Amino acid sequence: MNKEDKIFKIRHSLAHLLAMAVLDFDPKVKVTIGPVIDNGFYYDFDFSDGKTPTEKDLKTFQKTIKKLINKKLDFERKEVSEKEAREIFKDNPYKLELIDEIVNDGQKISIYSTGDFVDLCSGPHIENTKEIDAEAFEINKMAGAYWRGDEKNKMLTRIYGLAFENAAALEEHKKKMAEAAERDHRKISKEMNLYTFSELVGAGLPLFTPKGTAIRNALKNRLFEISARYDMQEVTIPHLAKKKLYEISGHAAKFSDELIKVVSHYDEFVLKPVNCPHHTQIYASIPRSYRDLPVRLMESTMQYRDEMPGEISGLTRVRSITCDDGHIFCTPEQVKNEVKSIAKIIEEFYTDIGLFGSHWVSLSTSDKKHPEKYIGDPETWKKSEQILKEISEELNLGAKTMEGEAALYGPKIDYMFKDSLGREWQLATIQLDFNMPKRFGLEYTDKDGQKKPPVMIHRAILGSYERFLAILIEHFAGNFPFWIAPVQVKILPVGETHNEKALELLAEFKKRKIRAEIDDSNDGFGKKVRKAKIEKVPYFVVIGDKEIAEDKFTLESRDKGNIGMLDLEKLVEDLK
């Protein structure tokens, strides 16, 4: 969202009005930061003793904000000196910390005044509260949040608000939120029995059932099938390594707070937070010539991050992450063709799922103001960013440049897909890395006999299986396409006398690698049908007296209803 967009200014201005309403509720509260976010805004507060609000108080804040809107208050910007700023916010340690950062970055200090309220803010804002539709916002929830996201800091109270340009847009968003709640992967996964958690195993460590594993395997098999056509080769690596591996790669510093350490009787290890350093060691295991390149390695393997307990949520934020990971080692001359091949894999995989076309592409580059956040020299970064820009143009990706979004070791192309609820997710990525091979001393002998470092291309097509599965569940509301569905066909014998025929059909399905189950319970037939629908099975086969007499099977579709009576070969053909 552009900061100059009207809706950005409205949301930012409402954050200030929320702070004013909270100050009316607790005059001693310390206001901290209140940024714009997707669909609204939030503000973090440090309330005085005994004044922490409850959910009921959110309505009070909303009423107070509406009164402030009706007062037609101006938002007035003013630049102040460091001394003036420190005097204004002398009783607020949070604002003083922000002032320190602004001064250290060499930025100008600005404040915004609205009525009697003054806030440290760079803007922009609307000119007057009369520009806000008083029916187009809602103060909707609260949560705890550490100051600056650091668990070592004080826990603050975060108050969220929704905001749109008009009431109709707000209502439309609330409808989508209600639908999203119905599609919540945690709810649907429980109904479909896809995964579980155990306190004995630990938070953020999902255990996938046979049905959940069937989905994961279907995704993996399809991905590997497509990738094999582009000569990607599967490898296997251990789940841990010495910390030194990640110190060389730069990941030990980047993930210092998220590393999970393992101490054996003889050595100290780290559960791998990423997989790429291991792959560099497979490359380094034998001498390489330019004739051997490109070397294309891929696998689906777990990596681990020590996420804070409060941030763990369903499958979207976990501690054990099954990553679809691939790394290509090639010469600089081969980079463009390799990236184009990965782009083709992405297109085919997401076309199968039905998401390709509802996406846009970003070209993520480094933050030029903070080169210390990355490994490698500026000249190498400039070269690699130019290569990706040229590839994006040659593939007509229409990539938008997103400065500061690059990976630790290089720029990247990210694919942003939109789901059925209109939410955007960053899924596939292609990352260009001139730096890590040098850090590990990787080499190949060029045609001129010279030793040179290869270029490393990191690629993930679906990213984390856990997060991807959560997105897919919510996108399809559990109504997976046939090839992904954990149970593709449910066989429903009408009565006990039809069970033998049902077992024969199940055996045929297993031979033909169709994932099927029988419901041979004593439940009535109507209950069996309802259960199959709740489990969102794409097809179910009915076997009764008529079907046995004609040696056929009645096929019902989740999406299309009754298809008719078919013999075995026609039934299998239609399902396939």
Q: What is the CATH number of the domain that holds 303?
A: 3.30.930.10
The last residue of one of the domains, among 149, 178, 207, is 178
**240 has a pLDDT exceeding 60:** yes
Place of tokens 């990941």: 251
- The answer to whether residues 413 and 536 belong to one domain is no
pLDDT tens sequence across 96-153: 999 999 998 889 999 999 999 999 999 899 999 999 999 999 999 999 988 988 778 9
On whether both 495 and 472 belong to a single domain, the answer is no
Which residue, chain included where needed, has tokens 């010469």?
A: 331
Residues 398 and 463 in one domain: yes
The rounded distance, in Å, linking the Cα atoms of 509 and 569 is 11
One domain for residues 41 and 147: yes
Q: Distances in Å between the alpha carbon of 241 and those of 60, 437, 456? A: 54, 18, 20
- Antiparallel, parallel or unpaired: β 359-365 and 400-403: parallel
Give residue 3's pLDDT: 64
Average pLDDT, the chain: 92
- Write out the two tokens for 411: 């720029």
Q: Which residue has the tokens 């291309």?
A: 457
* Tens digits of residue pLDDT in 154-209: 999 999 999 999 999 999 999 989 998 999 999 999 989 999 999 999 999 999 99
Residue 484 falls within a domain, yes or no? no
Q: In a 3-state reduction of DSSP, which class is residue 311?
A: helix
What is the rounded distance in angstroms from the CA atom of residue 397 to the CA atom of residue 390? Answer: 10
Cβ-based neighbour number of residue 452 at 10 Å:
15
Is it the case that residue 353 has pLDDT exceeding 60? yes
Q: Of 39-53, 128-142, 245-259, where does mean pLDDT reach its minimum?
A: 245-259
13, 467, 509, 537 from 570: Cα distances, Å: 63, 37, 13, 20
Classify residue 1: in a domain, yes or no.
no
Average pLDDT on 425-439 reads: 92
Which 8-state DSSP code applies to residue 454? P
Q: For residue 568, give the CATH number of its domain.
A: 3.40.50.800
Cβ contacts of residue 137 below 8 Å, gap of 6+? 14, 40, 62, 65, 161, 162, 163, 164, 170
Final residue before a domain boundary, out of 122, 146, 178: 178
User: Considering the domain boundaries, does residue 483 fall inside one?
Assistant: no
The pTM score is 0.82
Between 117 and 313, the higher pLDDT residue: 117
Residues 198 and 244 in one domain: yes
Q: Is residue 185 part of a domain?
A: no
- One-character DSSP codes across 40-84: EEEEEEEPPTT----TTHHHHHHHHHHHHHHTT-B-EEEEE-HHH
Structural domain tally of the chain?
3
509 and 461: one domain? no
User: Cβ distance 408 to 370 under 8 Å?
Assistant: no
Based on the fold, state whether residues 383 and 410 are members of the same structural domain: yes
294 and 201 inside one domain = yes
> By the 8 A CB rule, do 167 and 133 touch?
yes
The answer to whether residue 482 is domain-embedded is no
Chain segment 516-536, per-residue pLDDT in tens: 999 888 888 888 888 888 889
Q: Are strands 233-234 and 295-304 parallel, antiparallel or unpaired?
A: parallel
Residue 431 lies in a domain: yes
In a shared domain, residues 280 and 309: yes
User: Residue 184: inside a domain, yes or no?
Assistant: no
Q: Is the peptide bond before 294 cis (omega within 30 degrees of 0)?
A: yes
**What DSSP state is assigned to residue 197?**
-
Same-domain status, 28 and 165: yes
Q: Tell me, yes or no, whether 124 and 220 share the same domain.
A: no
Q: Which residue among 157, 178, 199 closes a domain?
A: 178
In a domain, 197, yes or no: yes
Q: Which of 528, 517, 506 is nearest to 572 (CA)?
A: 506
Residue 43 sits in the same domain as residue 118: yes
Q: Which domain holds residue 70?
A: 6-178
Segment 470-493, tens digit of pLDDT: 999 999 999 999 999 999 999 999
